[in-house]
Amino acid sequence: MASHKPPSVADQQLIEHAARHGFTITVKQLAVWRRAGLLPGNIPGGGLGRGWGSTSTPTPEGFDLVVALARLAGRGKRPADLALLLFAEGVPVPEATVRAAFRAAVDAVALPGEDEPSSDDLELDERLNQLSNALADSGQTVTLVPARARRIDERIARILGELPAEIVDLDQNAEPSQFTPQDATLTAVSATLGGSVPVQDIGALLRAMSPGMPVHPFASLVETTQDDVPEAADRVLAEDGSLAFLPDGDARDLLRALADTASLEDLATGWRTAQQVREWALDLCERVEGELDAGQLGEAVTQWVHGRQLLSGLSVIETLRDRRWSPSKGAFSALMLLFQCQMFVMLDSLVPGCQWHVLQIPAVVPPPVRDLILSKVVGPEAAAAGEAAG
């Protein structure tokens, strides 16, 4: 007959603490949470003497943790997800567990063709060639424009008709490259794996993400940087036309390193910003659709049209690609935002000043991203000014 060992005095204190908050937990649950690194072990005390064993006490943070874990834990919740949710709420989950959860979010990102057994042993050019053949055979590509964004684009285009001439004239590239979804997928994979991506290809990728637009002024700005501002271009562009300040190597390795080295405060800020961007993007979609349904185009549609080709529009597209948000996706987005800030800091060192005031223009970037970039690159005062302007 199976015997059930009674809880230790320390565990009994945690169980009773959870009960006072309306939650029922067991010794087994405590053990599972400890194995997952979510709950620290009790603090050993002195011996009771004469063979009566020893005492232990819960860690101070253990009381808050068991209540939060009992509230958040549920069927299908992975330990890494719980760690991220606890961290987002400011619950004192062990730091090593938090960083491991952020790294796991990067590990979950797989590229097309990576399931090939020999892919890791190939040089980058060979790997991309293998991927190109695999994409041609399978037709697997990234979703450039999610269905919801495409529907909004089409509804607005039917109402507004042709673009004004002054907008059309802003596109200075008379013969832009035309990317297929397969081309776009290869470019995105190449950028992730650390291959050099010329600004012409970046421009073509931006155009491919706005297939219904006859012109793309922002893509044109990227494509013609070398001609428009040659002094600055010489500092930031390599000989092949790629961005020289981007580090070499698989971008996922860089994100893993960031998960290990960024301060917990920065990780929390990145997470919070990623959440705010998602909320902002979904709210914008709802407001745009509301104006279209009512037949009264207003501020939301104007913001959509102005931002569709800028970084704010790209944030909307990225949000709509992930219809089902998960803590892992939130962690990955947080690391991407922090990585972008690092690159902007490096860019600012190459081109001092770098016209950061452009970020204050509505629709250039989502307001939460604007405030994050300004706080990291040009200081908290600029971020506060941006928040007041927005």
Q: Tens of pLDDT along 151-170?
A: 998 898 888 877 667 667 77
Per-residue pLDDT averaged across 296-323, rounded? 87
Type of residue at 2: A
Question: For residue 43, is pLDDT > 70?
Answer: yes
- pLDDT reported for residue 1: 40
C-alpha span between 110 and 252 (Å, rounded): 10
- pLDDT reported for residue 118: 54
Give yes or no for a contact between 307 and 367, defined as CB atoms under 8 angstroms apart: no
Summary mean pLDDT of the chain: 79
Per-residue pLDDT averaged across 126-135, rounded? 67
Is residue 14 classed exposed, middle or buried when 0-12, 13-18 and 19+ CB atoms within 10 A define those classes?
buried
pTM reported for the whole predicted model: 0.81
Per-residue pLDDT averaged across 358-374, rounded? 83
- How confident is the model over 87-111, as pLDDT tens digits? 999 999 999 999 999 999 999 887 7
Question: For residue 204, is pLDDT > 80?
Answer: no
What per-residue string of b and e applies to 294-319 under the rule 16 or more CB within 10 Å gives b? Answer: eeebeebbebbbebbbbbbbbbbbbb
Percent share of the chain, pLDDT over 90:
34
Give the lowest-confidence range in 86-90, 171-175, 254-258, 372-376.
171-175
- pLDDT reported for residue 216: 72
C-alpha span between 332 and 334 (Å, rounded): 5
Give SS3 for 379: coil
- How confident is the model over 332-346, as pLDDT tens digits? 999 999 988 888 777
> At 99, phi and psi to the nearest 5?
-65, -40
- Name the more confident of 203 and 60: 60
Question: For residue 5, is pLDDT > 90?
Answer: no
